[in-house]
Structure 1
Amino acid sequence: MMNGLILILELSTWACKAASLEENGGVIFGTKTSYFPVANQNTSIPTPPGCSPVMFWHLARHGTRYPGKDDIENMRDNLSRLRDEMIAAWNDGKGNLSSEIILQLKNWTLLPTPEDDKLITTSGRKEHFEMGQRWEKRFDNFNFFHPNKTEVYTSYKQRCIESGKEFMKGLFSAELPLVEDNHLLRFYDYCSLYINEVGESETPCQEVLKFETMPVFKEVGDRTEKQTGVQFSKSELDILWDICRFEVSWFPGTWSPWCSVFSIQDLHVYEFREDLKYYYEDGYAYNITKLMTQPLWHDLITRLEVLQEGRLAVNNSVLMFAHAETLMPFLVSLGLYLDQEPVKASDWPLEDRKWKTSEISSFGTNLDVIVLRCSASQVKGNYENTSSEEFMDKTEKSVDLETSKESEASTKSEESKESEESTESDSRESEESEESENSKIDKRSVDSDESTESEESKELEESKESKKRKKSDVSKESKESKESEESKEPERYKKLEELDLIAGEELKIQIMHQEKITIIPGLGDLIPLSAFIQKYKYLADLDFDKICEN
């Protein structure tokens, strides 16, 4: 009877701890946080009354994945041994682990093999499938999403390709052709300055190293030894932290027995260390991190300018599936999650920090740029969906606009200095640059462009052969052909029909991060199209090769 009571109490204690972890730690695992506790499950219409969608530009990180090959082998080589040491210590009466946790550890096996190297998991597929379903429901009243009006781009990685396929299944109940574009979605691989000064440099790691020498980090080892009866090395604790957070992401709604090694405070310590790492690698520490997002901005601004000219492009939806290293720099380029001062090791615990990777860069993290046509009556922003407060992060409403303007002015001053150095060269190369940019875009366009060019070439040859008989007609055709080549646009940017805005209607932009309406510092949450273009066009107009020169 007593043993049964003890087991009930132990199960109750574990249930309470799991509930505490779910409440405080569901979004606590840095960039390996599952998207499920982050996602906005509200599927009501996010657009303000009087507004309807015109364009949907979706950029998402892949879903939950397995660790890399080296990490899997490291787990395979060490976790069974660590598990056995913890069980032996428990049998000797050491530590505070419950019999339920010990039983779970005894029955535990490592799920992935080295062949699963960074492949997407079942939960990762589900993250994107359900996300697609939610967007279909939100825009269902507008009959907006159509497979024949949608472009899909991914990086070459399997986890991104499969994430895109799952999102489309949720959105369309079908799959569309995907275009791999690594320059667009893995721009960091093509930027020498970033690779040498940030990616392969030890400098960005300095704050992480400082934090690991602080008492608060060393205390994690003391607490885990008291909890398990086993003294772990730093590298062993890193493995335990990884298997804990990975398994929570692989099996949504459950908690890994390995997480019982840590206290809530321990998990926050590791989360802060992760935030430091990515603040300096993919955050605000280096200006090149923002500038190298130029390929994404060129794609977005080009599409927005088509709308600004009063035209509707062939495709109204653009879906892109990439990586954390794609999303975080793009968030930085938008000016989101900027703390007043650079995040440093000495700032611990900095609980109110904006740069918190668990919340802003989980698996499946996503950012949407939605262009709306709004009636004259919809003149204000700060719209809040009345059915759920989750759509609007109210804390962002307290943004000090004056401070953000000063920050913006400082940023523009720095960018202006770079711009002055390249203005003379850019003006001489503007026509060549435009042709080059169009050429890059054409590579991602539909195959019909190649057919069109072939037919135009054939017509031109035929016109030359009949020059003697139809001299005047040939002259006219030649002129038209030249003008066509100079102004040729990729298929996705070609005019489909006039936008035909009614008097008083305006085009507005709504930014959503993690499927929640997001306020852009200095612009608000419902932004005039022209103001958005004006603020960010400089990023689209940068010469990528030039800014990335080492």
Structure 2
Amino acid sequence: MQGPSFLVIFALILCCFGSPLCEDVSDETPIHRLSTKTAYFNAEKDSSHWENFQNEVSGCVAQQAWLLVRHGTRFPTGNDMNRLVDVLPSVAKQIVFNHQQGRGCLPDADITQLTDWFPPYGPRDKEQLQEMGFEELYSIGEYWRDMFPHLFNVQYDPFKFKVDFTTKNRTGQSAYHFMRGMFGDDAIGGIELPQPYSPNFILKFYKSCPRWMREVYKNNETTYKERLLFVNEKEFQSVIHAVSAKLGFLHPLTTRQIESIYDECRYETAWWPNRKSPWCSSFSDHDFEVMEYYQDLKYYYEDSYGTPLNSETACETINNIYSHFRSTVISGKAVPQGIFNFAHDKTIFQVLARMGIFKPSQHLRHDNFAEMKNRIWKTSYVSPFAANLALVLYSCGSTYRVGTFFEGQPIPIPGKCESLLCQWEELQPWFDHNAQTCNLSKLCMIHDEL
């Protein structure tokens, strides 16, 4: 006869004597550490370069700005929504039952919220921008208007501003609310946004690249290998056992159930920042770190430095920046003076990788979680909802310089120049090389072995 499992014994001890795990049920959620579901207002922003930047930019005037913005906080995708609806109501019901039987650690307030719980969204909401996303994009539009009032605190003119977004509703909605923040509610009714198109090699190049789709996105054997291996590591297994015990289960929850609880926690935290989701009480601070790393292992190889093809496919986006800035440098006239692009987390990840920004000291792997705790590349920081990257062309007397901003804060471009405000002549060789070697048709062609 098989003896009782570790978790059964653990839960009985928890029930009868209490446990340090119950003391670890935090009233606080690390709202800045929720991977790609981190809300923009909650995301960490590095303002440490401002003083040096202000010294360098003295005497310079911004002439043209190119922005890439991820859509704002949204509802789940169709696949995620189906999973959450399938998994969570029954889990919530069992958590309440466990609590009634004297098992688990959740406080009464959380149990009350989980009683008769059902996901607060339906099929019509899938992939749509949530109200918090409206506020995020409106705020970002206001931010850039106030940053460069001579460029953006003006009457809207379609010849001065170029807007582009993908065919997904959430990017079009993001563009609308950004423009509303920049030009005002009175003006937005008169602004005609363009029709999105596909394929879009500037904003959604990856989906138009058959080679990337086959070798990266649909390559479970290679792309998701580290993530799958991490599930069997002690760090992730400890999360499974700790969460299961905290919720009063006498058996370990599945990875699918743990992911669903984590995702609902992340979504509800992004939507309603002033109230705590009861699902978040399932995790300790350490658990959140492990779950963030679990997410990082996916995106690092699917969209960033873990796979070289990711950065290579973003070359046309860099060409788009170059063509606009080069035209202004040659002619002395910035037309358009604002180029606003709205896309997705993959676009942000891959463009940043093309530029060499936030490159970690070593690859993220299933077996180096402890070593990488202070890594520079974290999805929570690199691509929260409404993440944005801006390059601004300045005229500085008789020369031109380029400043780079992430989340509205100045940052250096590693290896491209030695200052925060790069001389145009320093960047031009990199831009030229990118233009000369960028051939998406050749790069994305699938070469089958004969």
Which position in structure 2 is the counterpart of 1:528?
Answer: 423
For the Cα contact (< 8 Å) 1:95–1:227, is it kept in 2? yes
User: Distance in 2 between the 1:61 and 1:529 partners?
Assistant: 27
User: Distance in 1 between the 2:60 and 2:196 partners?
Assistant: 33
Aligned-pair Cα RMSD in Å: 2.3
Which position in structure 1 is the counterpart of 2:99?
Answer: 90
For the Cα contact (< 8 Å) 1:39–1:515, is it kept in 2? no
- Report the alpha carbon displacement of residue 119 of structure 1 after superposing the two structures with TM: 0.9
5 Å-filtered alignment, 1:316-465, equals 316-349=337-370, 350-375=372-397
- Report the alpha carbon displacement of residue 39 of structure 1 after superposing the two structures with TM: 6.7
Which position in structure 2 is the counterpart of 1:415?
Answer: none
Which has the bigger relative contact order, CA under 8 A and spacing at least 6? 2
Which deviations, in whole Å up to 9, do the C-alpha atoms of 1:247-298 show, x marking residues without a partner? 1111123321101111111111110011111110111122221111122122
Which position in structure 2 is the counterpart of 1:195?
Answer: 213
Identity %: 26
User: Distance in 2 between the 1:304 and 1:141 partners?
Assistant: 18
In the alignment, does 2:433 pair up with 1:538? yes
Going from structure 1 to structure 2, the CA distance change for 1:311 and 1:70 (only over 3 Å counts) comes to same
In the alignment, does 2:243 pair up with 1:224? yes
Which deviations, in whole Å up to 9, do the C-alpha atoms of 1:458-503 show, x marking residues without a partner? xxxxxxxxxxxxxxxxxxxxxxxxxxxxxxxxxxxxxxxxxxxxxx
For the Cα contact (< 8 Å) 2:319–2:431, is it kept in 1? no
SS at match of 1:343: coil
Which deviations, in whole Å up to 9, do the C-alpha atoms of 1:107-145 show, x marking residues without a partner? 643111122221111111111011111111122266665
- Report the alpha carbon displacement of residue 69 of structure 1 after superposing the two structures with TM: 1.9
Equivalent in 402, 411, 417 of residue 509 of structure 1: 402
- Calculate the TM-score normalised by the size of structure 2: 0.85
For the Cα contact (< 8 Å) 1:145–1:317, is it kept in 2? no
For the Cα contact (< 8 Å) 2:247–2:282, is it kept in 1? yes
Which position in structure 1 is the counterpart of 2:135?
Answer: 126
Going from structure 1 to structure 2, the CA distance change for 1:179 and 1:297 (only over 3 Å counts) comes to farther
User: Distance in 2 between the 1:528 and 1:521 partners?
Assistant: 14
Which deviations, in whole Å up to 9, do the C-alpha atoms of 1:438-463 show, x marking residues without a partner? xxxxxxxxxxxxxxxxxxxxxxxxxx
SS at match of 1:537: helix
Going from structure 1 to structure 2, the CA distance change for 1:312 and 1:144 (only over 3 Å counts) comes to farther
Q: Which has the higher helix share?
A: 1
Equivalent in 196, 206, 226 of residue 225 of structure 2: 206
Going from structure 1 to structure 2, the CA distance change for 1:172 and 1:39 (only over 3 Å counts) comes to farther
Which position in structure 2 is the counterpart of 1:186?
Answer: 204
Going from structure 1 to structure 2, the CA distance change for 1:178 and 1:527 (only over 3 Å counts) comes to same
SS at match of 1:312: coil
Corresponding letter in the other structure for 1:211: F
Greater Rg, structure 1 or structure 2?
Answer: 1
For the Cα contact (< 8 Å) 1:123–1:250, is it kept in 2? yes
User: Distance in 2 between the 1:40 and 1:145 partners?
Assistant: 28
User: Distance in 2 between the 1:368 and 1:333 partners?
Assistant: 14
List gaps (5 residues or longer) in structure 1: 1-12, 376-504
Which position in structure 1 is the counterpart of 2:309?
Answer: 288
Number of residues of Structure 1 aligned to a counterpart in Structure 2: 404
- Report the alpha carbon displacement of residue 373 of structure 1 after superposing the two structures with TM: 1.4
In the alignment, does 2:294 pair up with 1:303? no
- Report the alpha carbon displacement of residue 34 of structure 1 after superposing the two structures with TM: 0.8
Which position in structure 2 is the counterpart of 1:452?
Answer: none
Corresponding letter in the other structure for 1:246: Y
Equivalent in 72, 89, 113 of residue 80 of structure 1: 89
Which deviations, in whole Å up to 9, do the C-alpha atoms of 1:4-48 show, x marking residues without a partner? xxxxxxxxx99x933x42xxx111111111111127599x99763
User: Distance in 2 between the 1:56 and 1:80 partners?
Assistant: 47
Which position in structure 1 is the counterpart of 2:181?
Answer: 170
Which position in structure 1 is the counterpart of 2:112?
Answer: 103
User: Distance in 2 between the 1:170 and 1:314 partners?
Assistant: 22
- Report the alpha carbon displacement of residue 226 of structure 1 after superposing the two structures with TM: 2.3
SS at match of 2:294: helix
Corresponding letter in the other structure for 1:543: N
For the Cα contact (< 8 Å) 2:146–2:153, is it kept in 1? no
Task: Please identify, of 170-179 and 94-103, the stretch whose mean Cα deviation from structure 2 is larger.
Answer: 170-179
For the Cα contact (< 8 Å) 1:152–1:179, is it kept in 2? no
Going from structure 1 to structure 2, the CA distance change for 1:40 and 1:286 (only over 3 Å counts) comes to closer
In the alignment, does 2:35 pair up with 1:30? yes
User: Distance in 2 between the 1:78 and 1:293 partners?
Assistant: 36
- Report the alpha carbon displacement of residue 86 of structure 1 after superposing the two structures with TM: 0.7
Going from structure 1 to structure 2, the CA distance change for 1:69 and 1:336 (only over 3 Å counts) comes to same
Corresponding letter in the other structure for 2:444: C
User: Distance in 1 between the 2:66 and 2:26 partners?
Assistant: 40
Which position in structure 2 is the counterpart of 1:114?
Answer: 123
Corresponding letter in the other structure for 1:299: N
User: Distance in 2 between the 1:287 and 1:331 partners?
Assistant: 13
For the Cα contact (< 8 Å) 2:67–2:339, is it kept in 1? yes
User: Distance in 1 between the 2:311 and 2:79 partners?
Assistant: 30
For the Cα contact (< 8 Å) 2:26–2:284, is it kept in 1? no
User: Distance in 2 between the 1:165 and 1:512 partners?
Assistant: 22
- Report the alpha carbon displacement of residue 201 of structure 1 after superposing the two structures with TM: 0.7
User: Distance in 1 between the 2:195 and 2:281 partners?
Assistant: 43
For the Cα contact (< 8 Å) 1:69–1:116, is it kept in 2? no
Which deviations, in whole Å up to 9, do the C-alpha atoms of 1:70-93 show, x marking residues without a partner? 322222222121111111111111
Corresponding letter in the other structure for 2:333: L
User: Distance in 2 between the 1:133 and 1:143 partners?
Assistant: 9
User: Distance in 2 between the 1:509 and 1:222 partners?
Assistant: 50
For the Cα contact (< 8 Å) 1:38–1:514, is it kept in 2? no
Corresponding letter in the other structure for 1:76: V
User: Distance in 1 between the 2:171 and 2:271 partners?
Assistant: 17
User: Distance in 2 between the 1:258 and 1:220 partners?
Assistant: 14
Corresponding letter in the other structure for 2:180: K
Which position in structure 1 is the counterpart of 2:262?
Answer: 241
- Report the alpha carbon displacement of residue 525 of structure 1 after superposing the two structures with TM: 1.1
Which position in structure 2 is the counterpart of 1:65?
Answer: 74
Which deviations, in whole Å up to 9, do the C-alpha atoms of 1:51-74 show, x marking residues without a partner? 211001000110111112232222
